[in-house]
Amino acid sequence: MLLAYTRAVSPRLADCELTHLDRAPLDVSLAVAEHDAYEAALVQLGVTVRRLPAEPDLPDAVFVEDTAVVLDDVAVITRPGAESRRPETRTVEQALAGHRPLVRIEAPATLDGGDVLVAGHTVYVGLSLRTSRDAVRQLVRLLRPFGYEVVPVEFQGCLHLKSAVTRVAEDLVLLNPAWVDAAIFAGHRTVHVDPQEPHAANALAVAGSVIHPRHHAGTRARLESAGLKVVPVAQEELAKAESGVTCCSLLLHE
């Protein structure tokens, strides 16, 4: 069974943390509708969706990906780079304790799950304003017993590594070559985003399909040309909070 943990949109979403985007008027009711449709898309693909307890006072709490890294053998509870987000991990840890052994990133290191891209037993970790080199060193130590190789990745121009590159199939990555070097992912074929859509590299591969923001039509056409079945979802409002489709769920196999 494939599970997705999600969380309701906070009524304070407009107060979210931002780093690379200017703050724009954000309609929380539209963001709620987008998130509901995203969950519905997961269900239609055969995923069992379980909502974590709501966190109405934590503006970014809907972006559950940043609170943990779930692997087949173990789950890593992160220490988010934005201090305001650290209380989000409490209920995520409680939920994941029933599924995986848990390890934790310890202070002063910081790690956002959005900076972690897993490809088999290789774990790529983006070095960002939210993820520190100390966190990479901790991951090397924590994941070595489970047979994972941890690879630090330099990138630019966006919040998280998975804003620049995501894995859309077993041997295929979608990336923005202006933000991350494709050579890092040797052994994978690549699809480049449409140059007019720099933020289109974030996609969620699930159950043989790819969930992707509907407003990135040019990049969607490229994914379809690569033979992928794309499920477009509304993300225009959530994107104002520097979100992507991977951000809003934690996937794990039971």
Count CB atoms within 10 A of the CB of residue 188.
17
Q: Which of 16, 158, 247, 248 is catalytic?
A: 247
The two tokens of residue 68 are: 């943990």
Length reported for the chain? 254
Mean pLDDT for the chain overall: 97
Coil, strand, or helix at residue 57?
Answer: coil
CA-CA-CA-CA torsion sign (130, 136, 142, 148)? positive
Contact call for residues 218 and 196 (beta carbons, < 8 A)? yes
Region 55-81 average pLDDT = 98
CA distance 21 to 122: 30
The per-residue b/e assignment along 120-136, b for 16 or more CB within 10 angstroms, e otherwise, is: eeebbbbbbebbbebbb
pLDDT single digits (tens) 9-44 = 999 999 999 999 999 999 999 999 999 999 999 999
The reply to whether omega before 108 is within 30° of 0 (cis) is: yes
247 a catalytic residue: yes
248 a catalytic residue: no
Region 230-241 average pLDDT = 98
Residue 27: the pLDDT is: 98
Residue 91: the pLDDT is: 98
Count CB atoms within 10 A of the CB of residue 72.
13
Confidence grade of residue 219 (pLDDT, cut at 50, 70, 90): very high
The two tokens of residue 94 are: 């409680």
**2-253 has which fold?**
L-arginine/glycine Amidinotransferase; Chain A (3.75.10)
Measured in whole angstroms, how far is the alpha carbon of residue 174 from the centre of its chain? 14
> Domain map of the chain by residue range?
2-253
Report pTM. 0.97
Q: Which of 160, 199, 212, 216 is catalytic?
A: 160
Pick from 91, 143, 93: nearest CA to 122: 143
Region 188-208 average pLDDT = 97
Residue where the block lists tokens 């933020």? 199
Pick from 196, 189, 192, 230: nearest CA to 213: 230
Q: In what order do the strands lie in the sheet with 149-154?
A: 116-119, 122-127, 149-154
Name, in order, each residue with C-beta under 8 angstroms of 40's C-beta and a sequence gap of 6 or more: none
Region 122-142 average pLDDT = 98
The two tokens of residue 77 are: 């509870």
